Structure formats: C-alpha cells, structure tokens
A and B are shown apart, each in its own frame.
Chain A
Amino acid sequence: MTATLPDVSRDEASLKSFLHGLPGVDQVGAEARAAMLSTRSIKTTSKQWAIDTAISMIDLTTLEGADTHGKVRNLCAKARRPDPSDPSTPQVAAVCVYGDLVSVARDALGDSGIRIAAVATAFPSGRASLNVKLADTKEAVAAGADEIDMVIDRGAFLSGRYLQVFEEIVAIKQAAGPAHLKVILETGELATYDNVRRAAWLAMLAGADFIKTSTGKISPAATLPVLLVMLEAVRDLRDGTGRQVGVKPAGGIRTSKDAIRHLVMVNETVGDDWLSADWFRFGASTLLNDLLLQRQKLATGHYSGPDYITLD
C-alpha cells in the first residue's frame, strides 16, 4: 500500500479500478490459514483473559420483530450485570437494538457507560430509498444511539455500482454525526472473498469507523476466513494511511470456543492494537451465556449448568 491513498472516489471508473486492483484472495489459502489458527490451544490464564475480553467486546443484540420494551429492558439489565453471582464479571460493550427501541435502552442503561448501537438504513435488507435510510439513521441518533450499524446496498455492490454504495455510506456517516458508524457488508451475500475485500475497502474509504460482517439474518454469517480477509483490510489501511478501523463479526458466534478463535485470529493478524472493545466487537445474543458458563467453570473448577445462567 502506498503511504497516502489517491482520491479514488472521484468517479466510478477510479473507484472500480482501485477496488479491482486490490490483491486477490486465494480461497483455499485463506481457509487453510483460518483452519490452522483454529487449532491454537488457549488454556488456563490465557483462557480467563480471553473470556473476560470477549465479554467486554460483546454488542449484546436483540433484533427480532417480537422485541418489546420489556425485552430490551431485560437485555440492558443483563448487559450491566451479566452474572449476578459474580460482580467481577465485566460489562458488555454495547447493546444493539432496532432504532425505535433506542430510547428504551437509553433509559435502562443510564450512566452505565454501556453504549447503544442501533441498526439503521432499512436493516437487514437495505432495500429502501436513501431518504428513508437517512431518516432512519437520524431518528436513531436523536433517540440517543451512540453507534449506528448500517447495511450496504448489496444489490448495487454486486451490479458494480460501487460509487452509489460509497456515496450512500458517506451520506449516512454525515447523518450519523457524532455516532460511530459500523458498516455491515453482509458477507454471506457477497459470495466471494475478493468481494469481501473490495467491500471492506469501499466501506473504509467512505468513512466507516467499523466494518461488520453480517446482519445475522443471512447464513453464512460471520466465518473465520471472512474475518481474516476483513482484518487484513483494516491492517493494510492502517499501514497505508495510519487510520485505524474496527472490526465486528456478527451472527453465528455462539460458543466461547468460537469467540476465542476469533480473538486468536485478531491477535495473530492485526495484533494487540485491535484487542479491545474500541476496535473489536462481537455481535451476538447467545454467546454471552456460554462465556459466562465457561467463566464460572474456570473460577469454580466445575460446570454449573444452564440453570445457573440467567436467560434474558
């Protein structure tokens, strides 16, 4: 990467030639690297550290049509105090809800320091006009969202209209104002690792503070090879420009083992600088409970069982 990036977004042709000029990703090689890193054996003290770090990186999420005020309040209570039997358990990083429930979360979280992320821009499909997406974003921010999780227009991306995707991200970024912008690539719909790399760069060039794998509504969601390709992108951007962008895998990360594998990949691909909630998040709903179960096991030496983990 060159020290400064030329203005590649000045027109469709420049943007396209930049994105298509990125080095390709060899699928077999990327998957082999991810598989190899999955064999790392994280035990004892390093497992303790990884579990607490993973908890502190969670965007505790509920994104159901059936979400209610009560459901969101319960989620916020869990976010503040994940394990009532052990106050040393760290808080999660954020709760992630639909825009209309931001104000409920705001009240429930108070001054806990836990951030509120709202999905916006006609989540999860992104199929709406720009005006609707902008209004969606502005309302969420006005209601108190600290972070906006937007989706890119995959249709535009797949048909090669990169500039449209770019300009939409720029507009949402502007509408989000002080809120941190996470850009969801929905990698399960991009199909190839080459596309993941291009979409990651596109989002970063347009001003994303975080790049996020998935909505959680499409399978496959977050996979380790996809995370690898996205981590390589944020690493190369910082090497080239000095700007650091965060990464958030979301969807399908359910066990402590999964979470630890993600942290290992962060550690060995981009290193310490990304190993905090400022730069790495897990978008997850059920992951927290498995982390709590494993945390209790490490503390007491035995498994307590699901009855000892609160359900919210």
Chain B
Amino acid sequence: MPFDYAPAPESRSIVDIKPSYGLFIGGEFTDAKGGTPFKTISPATEEVLAEISQAGPSDVDRAVKAARTAYTQTWRRLAPAERGKYLFRIARIIQERARELAVLESLDNGKPIRESRDVDVPGAAAHFFYYAGWADKLDYAGLGPAPRPLGVAGQIIPWNFPLLMVAWKIAPALAAGNTVVLKPAETTPLTALLFAEICQQADLPPGVVNIITGAGETGQALVEHPDVDKVAFTGSTEVGKAIARAIAGTRKKVTLELGGKAANIVFDDAPVDQAVEGIVNGIFFNQGHVCCAGSRLLVQESVYDEVLDSLRRRLRTLRLGDPLDKNTDIGAINSAAQLARIRELSDVGESEGAERWSPPCELPEHGFWFPPTLFTGVGQSSRIAQEEIFGPVLSVLTFRTPDEAVAKANNTPYGLSAGVWTEKGSLILWMASKLRAGVVWANTFNRFDPTSPFGGYKESGFGREGGRQGLAAYLA
C-alpha cells in the first residue's frame, strides 16, 4: 500500500489581506495620485488577492521628497548605534510575524510554504540582524576612515524573492545611513506592503523607508528622478541595460543584479547522491525562478548515465501543487507572462532537437503551472543553453575534461554563479579560479548567507550584496 501524504495546508487565516493598498510614503499609507490601480493575484489559483495602487510621477516625487527629508532631518543625524537599534527591531518583528509573512509570500508569489517558511523569511530576518550589527562599525568596514552615506536610494526588486529582496536592499542601505524608496514587483507587492506595516510597528522615523507600487513606468520614474543618489536594481538584464543607459552621465551610483545561466558541473568522482540533490535544488528551488539557478547541468561523460538515471528517479518524487501545503516541493509559476516565456523556450528546445522529459505529474486546473523538465542532448548552440528560462527547466550538457567544463561554463554572456561537484579539493580550487562567476558553490548549490557577498560578472551585473562588501554599494 502506498504512503500517500494527506493534504497538510498551512492556514491562511493568520494573515489579514486588505481589499486595497495605498502607497507607503512618509511613514503612512496614502492614496496614489497616479494611474489606475491594478490587481495582484494568487498564481496558484488566479484568485484576486488585493487591489494595488499605481504610483505615477507625482507619487514618485512625493516619495523621494519624503526620503530626502528623512535623510537630512533625522536618519543621517541619528547616532549610528540608534540606526542599528531600529534594524534589530525590524529583524525581531520579522521573526515574530514569520508565519504571517510566509503565508502571504506563498499566496502572492506561488512558492511553496516550505521555502517561504524555511528560506525567504528567516533569510530576511538574518539580513537585518547582520546589517544591524554594522550600523555603528562602518569605520571598520575597510572603506576608509569615515565612510559617508550616499543619500536617497531608489531600489527596484523582482518577484522571485519578494520579501528577501526587500531585506537585501533595505538592510544595508539603512545601516549605512541612507533612506530608501523601494518599488516591489508588480505581481508580488504584498509582503513589501506588510513590511511597510512592520516599519510602522518598529517606530521607524517617517520617510526612512518608502514603498511605492506600480509597473515598469513607476520604476523608470524612480530611476530617472533627479534627487535619487543611488539606484539599486535586481531583475532582468534587459531592464538593467535600460537603467544603465538612463543614468549614464548623471551623478547617480548604481548596482545591478541581473540574470544568469549558471553551470552546475558534476565530475566523475562527485558524491552522486548529494550531487543529484544539488542539481534538484539548483534548478527546481523556487520553480527555477532564481537568477543564480543552476540551469545548465554539465556532467562528465563517464558518469552521465548514472547521474541522469538518479536524477530522473529523484524527479519522480517531487511534489507539485498547492503552495500552502507544507509537503509541496514545486509551487506555481509566478505569472501568466512568465509561464508563456517558459513554454516558448521549452518549445524552442524541442524544435532544436533536444530531448524533453518530465516525470509523470498532474498539473492543477487553475493557475500557472509547469512541470519539472529536463532537456538532454543539448548543445552549447541551443537557445535553451544560452538564454535564461527562469523556470523549472534544466538543460543537460556533457564534458570530458576540466578544461572543457570551464570553457563551456564560461561560454555565456552571464556570470552570476556556478557549482562544482567533486570529492577532490584541489580541483574545486582550480575550477573556482577559472570560472567567471560571482559565486562558485562547491558540493552545494543555492546557499545564501548574509555574511557572504553575492553578485555577478559580465552581463549578470555589478556590485555586491551581502557581507562587508555589500556596504560598499551604499557608502562613499
């Protein structure tokens, strides 16, 4: 008799979603004077969750003004240890309201509750704790004797880790003494808006954090606002390039964290069972909506069959479905648009001659879903080996020697991350010195820690987030 897991859904009653949300400016929720409001939905069911304001240029201006006022009148004058106190307080409130944040994140984003509960929310709290400690120690960050904040930071974040990206952006900016205007992604604004309530709860001085919602034009208005000193963006390479063009010739500083097409490289002496877990975690974590996802698997030919057999067997055990079910491994694709892109590129993969495989997997009727998918027989020349799919789709390639592995891994315009699987320590170090990627994971993948800098080479962007290095993006 099979061991079926009965549904184990996390209760959504813990979170109170309002029918509509305003913009968080100057410490208060205010009505937008801009465009028509839009709706945010649950990608798992297409249920409308709330109506969200669209910030127009005058709203962006109000938010930047509020941030400027807070910067000049309160935040930069505050003793550094006091800034740290606010950040510690925010970190603790995130922990206290962890379940609420996790449920809301899974509802709005579609990611499994296991991930929002065990990765996103604790990671967000950890980031605030980490940077809270830096607030009164900036002189010792290795950036000169008395580093100064930049002023007002305009920050734009993506939909794949909505709350975690709030933390990655806001914690170092505030610790360094800046104030911020942050725009969450159009499809996932709810946890950022709950974070605004947390700022109120923490008694953060008004205007230090401002959160404005909207689509691309709102972000563009923020980037182009003349009183923004610093732009921090995480998202697609295409938009990153547009931002770089928009701020060229201005005094604005910028950090960009963009796309990736990471190689996950498995050598023949790898710990195979853990490598298979790492491959799964590398590409199916968060439905593959991860900029540093290990979307290209490079397997040494001598262990190809063994690794692929194990991988297929493992994929058969993945549990796809209700993001709020505590046993779900693969949740919903974040939006119809993203699903269309994943489908389009997968069809291209097939038409280019790669062999497509998915485990038997029933997809829910409503919402946006895509099964975990493997492509074998993929060459470097395939589009699915070159373009970022940003979905649960793995392209499998092979190599014969370490040199060939490096050449193939680096043969991409991106350079965000890479993974190396071998029991041989010297090979790990040699590979790490050759791979053109901001992060090289050895015998693991997709591990994040606030103490560790993260960022890309080449078209994956520039600037680092996390660690001491992450402070440099917000200090001069």
Decide if B277 is an interface residue (CB 8 Å cutoff): yes
| B116: min CB distance to chain A, Å | 13
Question: What string of 1s and 0s marks CB contacts (under 8 Å) between B281-319 and chain A?
Answer: 000000000000000000000000010010000000100
Q: How many angstroms between the C-alpha atoms of A29 and B317 in the bound complex?
A: 18
| Binding-face segment, B167-175, B255-263, B268-276, B336-344 | B268-276
Question: What string of 1s and 0s marks CB contacts (under 8 Å) between B348-369 and chain A?
Answer: 0000000000000000000000
Question: What string of 1s and 0s marks CB contacts (under 8 Å) between A23-34 and chain B?
Answer: 111101110110
| B41: min CB distance to chain A, Å | 26
Q: How many angstroms between the C-alpha atoms of A44 and B1 in the bound complex?
A: 17
Q: How many angstroms between the C-alpha atoms of A24 and B1 in the bound complex?
A: 33
Q: How many angstroms between the C-alpha atoms of A68 and B270 in the bound complex?
A: 51
| Binding-face segment, A8-16, A35-43, A108-116, A153-161 | A35-43
Q: How many angstroms between the C-alpha atoms of A43 and B326 in the bound complex?
A: 11
For residues 431 through 447 of chain B, which have their beta carbon under 8 Å from a beta carbon of chain A?
Answer: 443-444
Among candidates B2, B114, B269, B444, residue contacting A29 with C-beta atoms closer than 8 Å:
B444
B277/A43 in contact, CB under 8 A = no
Q: How many angstroms between the C-alpha atoms of A43 and B6 in the bound complex?
A: 6
Question: What string of 1s and 0s marks CB contacts (under 8 Å) between B462-475 and chain A?
Answer: 00000000000000
Q: How many angstroms between the C-alpha atoms of A1 and B273 in the bound complex?
A: 13
B271/A26 in contact, CB under 8 A = yes
| A271: min CB distance to chain B, Å | 8
| B110: min CB distance to chain A, Å | 19
Main secondary structure of the interface of B (DSSP, over half): loop
Q: How many angstroms between the C-alpha atoms of A47 and B4 in the bound complex?
A: 10
Q: Enumerate chain B residues within 8 angstroms of A189, measured Cβ to Cβ.
A: none
Q: A23-B269, A53-B3 provided; 9 other pairs, C-beta below 8 A?
A: A26-B274, A30-B273, A33-B273, A40-B327, A42-B5, A43-B7, A47-B6, A49-B1, A275-B3
Decide if B8 is an interface residue (CB 8 Å cutoff): yes
Decide if A272 is an interface residue (CB 8 Å cutoff): yes
Among candidates B3, B270, B326, B423, residue contacting A272 with C-beta atoms closer than 8 Å:
B3
B3/A232 in contact, CB under 8 A = no
A29-B118 CB under 8 A given contacts A39-B326, A40-B327, A46-B6: no
Decide if B278 is an interface residue (CB 8 Å cutoff): yes
Q: How many angstroms between the C-alpha atoms of A179 and B212 in the bound complex?
A: 73
A40-B274 CB under 8 A given contacts A26-B443, A28-B443, A28-B444: no
A24/B5 in contact, CB under 8 A = no
For residues 54 through 71 of chain A, which have their beta carbon under 8 Å from a beta carbon of chain B?
Answer: none
Decide if A263 is an interface residue (CB 8 Å cutoff): yes
Q: Enumerate chain B residues within 8 angstroms of A49, measured Cβ to Cβ.
A: 1, 3-4
Among candidates B3, B270, B274, B317, residue contacting A46 with C-beta atoms closer than 8 Å:
B3
Main secondary structure of the interface of A (DSSP, over half): helix
B3/A263 in contact, CB under 8 A = yes
Q: How big is the B interface, by class?
A: 20 to 34
Q: Enumerate chain B residues within 8 angstroms of A24, measured Cβ to Cβ.
A: 269, 271, 423
Decide if A45 is an interface residue (CB 8 Å cutoff): yes
Q: Enumerate chain A residues within 8 angstroms of B326, measured Cβ to Cβ.
A: 39-41
Q: How many angstroms between the C-alpha atoms of A46 and B5 in the bound complex?
A: 6
23 cross-chain CB contacts under 8 A: A23-B272, A24-B423, A25-B271, A29-B271, A29-B273, A29-B277, A29-B444, A39-B114, A39-B118, A39-B326, A40-B327, A41-B5, A41-B8, A41-B326, A45-B4, A46-B5, A47-B6, A49-B1, A50-B3, A264-B3, A268-B317, A272-B1, A275-B1
Q: How many angstroms between the C-alpha atoms of A32 and B446 in the bound complex?
A: 13
| A2: min CB distance to chain B, Å | 10
Q: Enumerate chain B residues within 8 angstroms of A30, measured Cβ to Cβ.
A: 273-274
| B114: min CB distance to chain A, Å | 6
B277/A32 in contact, CB under 8 A = yes
Chain B, residue nearest A260 (CB): B3
Q: Enumerate chain A residues within 8 angstroms of B5, measured Cβ to Cβ.
A: 40-42, 46
| B331: min CB distance to chain A, Å | 15
